[in-house]
Amino acid sequence: IYAVSTDENKYILTGVNIQIAQDKLKFIGTDGHRVATTELSTQGIGRKPRKQVESEEIIQFSIPGRVLKESVV
C-alpha cells in the first residue's frame, strides 16, 4: 500500500478505491505523485459456482489506507 497518501489535508487520497465487477476485483490507490492498480480474478473463489449476470454492473467503494495497512499486517 505504498501509493496511499498519509496527508490528512488531501483526505480522498488517503484511501484505496475498490471496484468489484462480475469476474474481477480491482484496487486503485494514489498519493498524488504515483498511482498503483492491482487487478485480481475472482474465478474459482467460493464453494458454489456463481450465477452469471448479463449486466456489467460495477460496485465501487473506498476504504481508508490505514485500515488496509492494519488488516494486512
Q: How are beta strands 24-30 and 59-64 bridged, if at all?
A: unpaired
Residue 51 has what pLDDT? 67
Residue 58 has what pLDDT? 85
Residue 1 has what pLDDT? 62
Q: Answer whether residue 62 shows pLDDT above 80.
A: yes
Q: What is the pLDDT of residues 8-54, one digit of tens each?
A: 787 778 889 999 887 889 999 988 889 999 999 987 776 666 666 66
First to last CA, the chain: 11
**Is the CA virtual torsion 59, 60, 61, 62 positive or negative?**
positive
Residue 10: count other Cβ atoms within 10 Å of its Cβ. 12
pTM: 0.73
Half-sphere exposure of 44 (CA within 13 A, CB side): 2
| 15 vs 48: CA distance, rounded Å | 32
